[in-house]
Amino acid sequence: QVHLVQSGPEVKKPGASVKVSCKASGYMFTYYGINWVRQLPGQGPEWMGWISSHNGDTEYGQKFRGRLTMTTDTPTSTVFMELGSLRFDDTAVYYCARSGRTTGTTRPFEHWGQGTLVTVSS
Amino acid sequence: SYVLTQPPSVSVAPGQAATITCGGNDIGSKSVHWYQQKPGQAPLLVVQDDTDRPSGIPERFSGTNSGNTATLTISRVEAGDEADYYCQVRDGGNGYVFGIGTKVTVL
């Protein structure tokens, strides 16, 4: 079955960058895209961006443009999310979630990773 | 940006139906997805494309979407349905948008 396994928790200082991985298994990696969603403490999900595992196309939420980078490594079926210039209010659980593989996809997020807690602290 | 409005909370007795609304401008023209999230867990897709249930989701979960309101109905509510529920749509080139969530409490 489909599994998305994320890297472990991170603690970073303000101004630093964090890179979280999401390793996919149980399906054809290049047939889908991967989204990154974060959830601040006590808040609802917030979509950050999407990357096509098919061709590497990306869409970034306006709020994150300029400090968010998503990449994909097809041989290992892994997607990476790097968020830079971290601030205290970036402390959140970050999830990867699978959806469609084409730009502008409206497909739902059928499968999610287990989440990665990123704490920004001085 | 597109805004989705949900009631903060809904309370329901076991065996009764819970109705959760998701309001948005002309949301009936969009595909609405619904997620259930329990504490400490990732969200779980319970309804996709307005009305369809993913494999493994009980028939008790159903959805509608028309005009400016989408609705998730949980029939014959059970204690295990207690969770936060979020609606989601695609807002064109602005990406995906989630509602603020509705906490369902089973009395």
Please tell me the predicted confidence (pLDDT) of residue B79: 97
Q: 66-95 in B: which are within 8 Å (CB) of A?
A: 84, 86, 88-90, 92-95
From the list A111, A112, A102, the residue with the least C-alpha distance to A51 is: A102
Please tell me the predicted confidence (pLDDT) of residue A111: 97
Give the model confidence (pLDDT) of A43-74 as tens digits.
999 999 999 999 999 999 999 999 999 999 99
Q: How far is CA A60 from the centre of its chain?
A: 11
Chain A positions touching B90 (Cβ under 8 A) are 104-106
Please tell me the predicted confidence (pLDDT) of residue B3: 97
Give the model confidence (pLDDT) of B67-100 as tens digits.
999 999 999 999 999 999 999 999 998 999 999 9
Please tell me the predicted confidence (pLDDT) of residue B28: 97
Please tell me the predicted confidence (pLDDT) of residue B41: 97
SS3 string, A71-120, reads EEEHHHCEEEEEECCCCHHHCEEEEEEEECCCCCCCCCCCEECCCEEEEE
Chain B positions touching A44 (Cβ under 8 A) are 84, 86, 98-101
CB B25 within 8 A of CB B36: no
Please tell me the predicted confidence (pLDDT) of residue B58: 97
* Cβ within 8 Å, pair A44-B88: no
Give the model confidence (pLDDT) of A68-102 as tens digits.
999 999 999 999 999 999 999 999 999 999 998 88
CB B86 within 8 A of CB B35: yes
From the list A114, A58, A67, A113, the residue with the least C-alpha distance to A90 is: A67
Give CA separation, A89 vs A6, A36, A92, A116, B20, in Å: 21, 17, 8, 15, 30
Looking at the predicted structure, is the pLDDT value of residue A113 above 90? yes
Q: Which residue has the tokens 């979407």?
A: B65
Q: Rounded to the nearest 5°, which phi and psi values hold at A64?
A: -110, -5
Partners of residue B12 on adjacent β-strands: B106
Please tell me the predicted confidence (pLDDT) of residue A61: 96
* Cβ within 8 Å, pair A47-B96: yes
* Cβ within 8 Å, pair B95-A47: yes
Please tell me the predicted confidence (pLDDT) of residue A105: 86
* Cβ within 8 Å, pair A50-B31: no
Which chain A residue is nearest to residue B95, measuring alpha carbons?
A: A61
- What is the CA angle B45-B29-B18, rounded to 5? 45
A107: tokens are 């497909």
* Cβ within 8 Å, pair B49-A113: no
- Termini Cα distance of chain B: 36
